[in-house]
């Protein structure tokens, strides 16, 4: 019998892409058989949320200091805006023949395996219960009503879950990794959406997956089609204008046990040509048990990104206009130094965006600088936890010089030289990694984290996704664009950095630059179909 840690380590190893072969995926993709992009439940009441598209006055740069942002009242309209800015549609794209939707949260392959559930306890805005968010219609599907009242609590939670198969349809065995990235991006999207309303979120780090599954109703197997089930990911408490004491774990369990449930998930309409057993294996091995409560070890707001570096723009506008660049302008002017340092400091663990993160920073950035004002092209590192500097110096190539670039920013030059070709090659030959201002390999403290607890495998990817979401939005605020890169050759990255074992592993790539627009595509409004 293999231990859970061994199963997770094996999964990671077998889903590496390499120069010689890609991780196992479907041999053919039938585009007509694409999974339905929107999960719907039949047989439950559907409640339309107030009209989407509302703009708020708050500026992007004001979200750095959330304590100064106007706190909006808890109404159905503000709850709708929270869901829209986090998980709603942001636009449709069309090439004249096909059209496809984009959402505020990005997703690998635009497949959107992440589902969001709203849990209301006692607040008068909605009946207490569990609601599935349907982004296409900007509506809530009432999955459950709580019958037992909870005394002394008025609470909102949002729970996330993933339909692994939806991602595996295209990406096969590597899909589980992408689902976890997407959860991290969704967490970031939710954090920024809450911040525009003057609200915040905290992550319930103690809850077990089985408890979360019961609360979200995703363990009700008879109500889901085989292979289209959802796996619980995270539960977030939403801190709104209504002060409240948190509901205890036992109360949450009681609510789930006594709830009245409605509806069943519609089919996602595919014939499941391939099944990927390894996804269920790793998912079971990386399931989280109940753990002790944690407090965020970093002091949020100790550091705020340099102000004045970005043009003033409404936060709600920026969130809706975020797009992945599909091509970058390789002749772009160098990214101004002030904007670059704002981007770097925005991903440090002490900033407002990471106040929700209850674990220590385990992910560090190795940065391929191509076109940044004042910096010699080359390889750099941003180490997000001071304690990690020495071990990383010892683990990486001994030709790296580790020359600190700025006081108080843990940013080091490692190697001077043109890194465009290596960056492109290791990112599955994608030129988005070389035509940009810079691209990033996110390197996680891997083996020790997994040996402590195998479920922390997912948490490492969530941390990467959260960093990615900050980069996406900060790039947009700087007038640039970003793109997540899930396709990279794992061990070629390690070789380039001089990493010789799995103490550290590269878990995600990202790139930022000036996007080239594709004149063949048209952008259409997000919710014209509702009017």
Ligand X SMILES: Cc1cc2nc3c(=O)[nH]c(=O)nc-3n(C[C@H](O)[C@H](O)[C@H](O)COP(=O)(O)O)c2cc1C
Where along the sequence are the contacts to ligand X (CB under 6 A)?
A: 102, 106-110, 178, 181-182, 185, 323-324, 326, 430, 432, 483-487
First-last CA distance in the chain: 57
Nearer to ligand X, 326 or 337 (CB): 326
Residues 6 or more apart whose Cβ sits within 8 Å of residue 107: 113, 114, 182, 185
Nearer to ligand X, 268 or 432 (CB): 432
For residues 163 and 115, the answer to whether their CB atoms sit within 8 Å is yes
CA dihedral sign of residues 99, 87, 309, 347: negative
Shortest spacing between CB 84 and ligand X, in angstroms: 14
Shortest spacing between CB 433 and ligand X, in angstroms: 9
Phi/psi at 374 (5° precision): 80, 0
DSSP letter at 99? E
Nearer to ligand X, 10 or 324 (CB): 324
Distance CA 485, CA 439 (A): 9
The structure tokens listed for 64 are: 């750095």
Nearer to ligand X, 455 or 462 (CB): 462
Shortest spacing between CB 292 and ligand X, in angstroms: 30
3-state class (DSSP) for residue 60 = helix
Residues 6 or more apart whose Cβ sits within 8 Å of residue 440: 365, 366, 367, 368, 471, 509, 510, 511, 512
* Phi and psi based region of residue 458 (left: phi greater than 0; alpha: psi -120 to 50; beta: remaining): alpha
Kindly write down the DSSP assignment for every residue of 426-460, as one continuous string. Answer: HTTT-GGGTSSSEEEEEEEE-HHHHHH-TTHHHHH
Nearer to ligand X, 215 or 432 (CB): 432
Surface-to-core class of residue 114, CB atoms within 10 Å of its CB (0-12 exposed, 13-18 middle, 19+ buried): buried
CA dihedral sign of residues 415, 421, 426, 427: positive
Nearer to ligand X, 157 or 461 (CB): 461
Nearer to ligand X, 324 or 397 (CB): 324
Nearer to ligand X, 205 or 487 (CB): 487
- Bridge partners for 235 per DSSP: 159
Nearer to ligand X, 414 or 478 (CB): 478
Nearer to ligand X, 129 or 188 (CB): 188
Shortest spacing between CB 69 and ligand X, in angstroms: 25
CA dihedral sign of residues 513, 350, 248, 197: negative
Distance CA 466, CA 458 (A): 12
* Nearest alpha carbon to residue 306 among 386, 383, 404, 408: 408
Tokens 């969130």 belong to 319
Shortest spacing between CB 184 and ligand X, in angstroms: 8
Nearer to ligand X, 115 or 154 (CB): 115
For residues 317 and 55, the answer to whether their CB atoms sit within 8 Å is yes
For residues 460 and 444, the answer to whether their CB atoms sit within 8 Å is yes
Shortest spacing between CB 28 and ligand X, in angstroms: 20
């Amino acid at each position: 019998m293999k231990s859970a840690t061994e199963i997770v380590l094996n999964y990671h190893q077998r889903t590496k892409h390499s120069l010689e072969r890609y991780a196992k995926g479907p041999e053919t993709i039938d585009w007509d058989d694409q999974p339905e992009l929107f999960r719907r439940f039949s047989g439950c009441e559907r409640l339309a949320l107030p009209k989407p598209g509302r703009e708020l006055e708050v500026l992007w740069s004001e979200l750095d200091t959330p304590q100064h942002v106007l706190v909006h009242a808890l109404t159905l309209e503000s709850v709708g805006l929270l869901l829209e800015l986090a998980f709603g549609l942001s636009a449709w794209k069309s090439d004249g023949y096909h059209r496809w939707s984009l959402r505020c949260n990005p997703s690998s392959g635009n497949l959107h395996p992440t589902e969001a559930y709203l849990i209301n306890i006692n607040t008068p805005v909605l009946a207490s219960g569990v609601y599935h968010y349907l982004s296409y219609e900007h509506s809530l599907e009432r999955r459950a009503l709580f019958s037992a009242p909870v005394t002394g609590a008025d609470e909102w939670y949002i729970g996330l879950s993933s339909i692994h198969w939806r991602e595996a349809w295209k990406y096969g065995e590597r899909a589980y990794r992408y689902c976890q990235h997407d959860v991290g991006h969704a967490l970031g999207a939710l954090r920024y959406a809450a911040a525009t309303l003057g609200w915040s979120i905290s992550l319930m780090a103690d809850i077990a997956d089985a408890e979360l599954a019961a609360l979200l109703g995703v363990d009700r197997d008879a109500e889901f089609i085989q292979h289209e089930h959802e796996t619980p990911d995270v539960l977030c408490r939403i801190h709104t204008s209504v002060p409240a004491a948190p509901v205890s774990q036992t109360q949450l369990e009681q609510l789930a046990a006594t709830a009245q449930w409605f509806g069943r998930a519609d089919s996602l309409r595919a014939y499941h040509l391939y099944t990927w057993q390894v996804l269920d294996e790793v998912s079971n091995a990386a399931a989280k048990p109940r753990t002790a409560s944690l407090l965020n070890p970093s002091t949020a707001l100790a550091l705020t990104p340099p102000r004045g570096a970005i043009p003033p723009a409404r936060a709600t506008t920026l969130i809706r206009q975020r797009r992945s660049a599909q091509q970058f302008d390789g002749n772009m002017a160098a990214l101004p130094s002030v904007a670059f340092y704002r981007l770097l400091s925005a991903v440090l663990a002490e900033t407002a965006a990471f106040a929700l993160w209850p674990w220590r920073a385990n992910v560090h950035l190795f940065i391929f600088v191509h076109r940044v004002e004042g910096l010699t092209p080359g390889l750099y590192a941003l180490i997000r936890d001071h304690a990690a500097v020495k071990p990383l110096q010892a683990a990486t190539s001994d030709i790296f010089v580790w020359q600190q670039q700025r006081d108080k920013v843990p940013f080091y030059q490692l190697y001077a030289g043109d890194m465009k070709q290596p960056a492109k090659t290791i990112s599955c030959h994608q030129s988005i990694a070389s035509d940009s201002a810079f691209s990033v390999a996110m390197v996680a403290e891997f083996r020790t984290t997994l040996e402590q607890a195998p479920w922390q495998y997912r948490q490492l990817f969530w941390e990467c996704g959260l960093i990615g979401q900050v980069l996406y939005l900060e790039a947009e605020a700087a007038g640039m664009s970003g793109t997540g890169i899930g396709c990279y050759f794992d061990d070629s990255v390690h070789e380039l950095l001089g990493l010789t074992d799995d103490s550290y592993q590269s878990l995600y790539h990202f790139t930022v630059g000036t996007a080239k627009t594709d004149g063949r595509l048209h952008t259409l409004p997000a919710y014209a179909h509702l009017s």
